[in-house]
Amino acid sequence: MPVPLLDVNAQNHALKTELRAAFDKVLESGRFIMGEEVEAFESEVGSYVGAKHAIGVSSGTDAILLALMALGIGPGDEVICPSFTFFATAGCIARTGATPVFCDCHPDTFNLDFTSAEACISEQTKAIIPVHLFGQSIDMKTCDAFARKHGLKVIEDTAQSLGASYHGKYCGAMSDFGTYSFFPSKNLGGLGDGGLLVTQDDQLAEIAVKMRNHGMHPRYYHEMVGGNFRLDALQAALLRVKFQQYPEYTRLRQHNAAYYHEGLADVNGLVLPVTDEGNEHIWNQFTIRVLDGKRDALRQGLLDLGIGCEIYYPVPMHQQQCFAHLADQARSAFKVTEQLAAEVLSIPVYPELTQSQKDEVIEAIRSLMS
């Protein structure tokens, strides 16, 4: 039986009745932009992560862009982010006119390395965007100390880690801004694009709310330049249905990850993902490292057997063509990032995986690595 990397239908089709009812409700209301459904969604997810303000937006990317804009980041400023991340983190920095400065990461958790970030500091550094990668919090205590020492703003890119926690505190709600994504492959996957921005700061929230809608306040008066970063009522209504199941989705992902840890623990040449002490991991990805140059062979072997797998991420930010002009100015080495790009492989961990599918993945990896 083939095992896809992700099966969105398995999750969404189980909720057909509820999703259709949510659609009907919005259809009948005639209110398609913002409104009640968006406000209810903001309040539900905001209180779940313990954020004072939650602002529904058009995507995880726009949440990052809006956070940077609300902080007034722009030309002449530098913002530090990991090289080992999805493009949006770095792309948003560049779109404000600021310069992204890339740092290295840890081989065990894949998360940003603050020793490397230290080397990236300059007079121009205004902010840092740590990424809670693959479903696990960064070392927030070190992040706080780092930001305080250098007077930086912090935007937590929490696209992959809604509900992950660090010593009991939820990712995204521990700094100036937290950004979330509801792209279909995230743990709370919408039926389209969507995102959320959270903050504890009243003033930043007020600016971000205005900027979400062209900086308009009151109507047709613009004291600042924003954009159209609004969330659709329809998307919010559908996400509210799925959010009711969220604790169960997380529990099942954690169960699957634990099963892999058991089934793959003794395989030579594999390094299994590590969860730092004090972290609750929510497993957006279950990412293994395949040593001795065997990653591509394992990947092809799994694909030949009909088992979905993917390399997140094959090309680090410091090697992207659009950032080639920044290469000479690099202040950090990227030894770990480059090693990971050559070793990582993410395997199916979505909540609806069956027992026999998980066994099939484990057996395939065991036999291909023997």
Q: Percentage helix, strand, coil, to 5, in the chain?
A: 45, 15, 40
Q: Which residues are within 8 A (CB) of 106 and not within 5 positions of it... i.e. 6 or more apart? A: 112, 113, 336
Give CA–CA dist 39/51, Å, rounded: 14
Contact status: 181 vs ligand PLP (CB under 6 A)? yes
From residue 130, alpha-carbon distances to 2, 55, 242, 274, 328 in Å are 36, 20, 27, 18, 23
Q: Which stretch binds ligand PLP (CB under 6 A): 9-17, 85-93, 205-213, 298-306?
A: 85-93
Give CA–CA dist 153/207, Å, rounded: 15
Contact letters for ligand PLP, residues 142-171 (x by CB under 6 A): ---------------x-xx-----------
Total number of residues that touch ligand PLP (CB under 6 A): 15
By beta-carbon proximity to ligand PLP, the closer residue of 159 and 162 is: 159
Contact with ligand PLP (CB under 6 A) among 59, 111, 165, 346: 59
Q: Which stretch binds ligand PLP (CB under 6 A): 56-64, 196-204, 244-252, 313-321?
A: 56-64
Residue with tokens 């799925």: 242
Contact status: 183 vs ligand PLP (CB under 6 A)? yes
Of residues 286-345, which lie at the interface with ligand PLP (CB under 6 A)?
A: none
Of residues 189-248, which lie at the interface with ligand PLP (CB under 6 A)?
A: 193, 195
By beta-carbon proximity to ligand PLP, the closer residue of 238 and 270 is: 238
Q: CB–CB of 46/54 below 8 Å?
A: yes
Give CA–CA dist 84/159, Å, rounded: 14
Tokens encoding 169: 């505190």
Q: CB–CB of 282/162 below 8 Å?
A: yes
Catalytic-residue membership of 186: yes
Contact status: 60 vs ligand PLP (CB under 6 A)? yes
Contact status: 89 vs ligand PLP (CB under 6 A)? yes
**Amino acid identity at 64:** I
Least gap, CB of 161 to ligand PLP (angstroms) = 9
Contact with ligand PLP (CB under 6 A) among 54, 66, 131, 188: 131
Residues in contact with ligand PLP by the rule CB under 6 A: 59-61, 85-86, 88-89, 131, 157, 159-160, 181, 183, 193, 195
Catalytic residues: 186
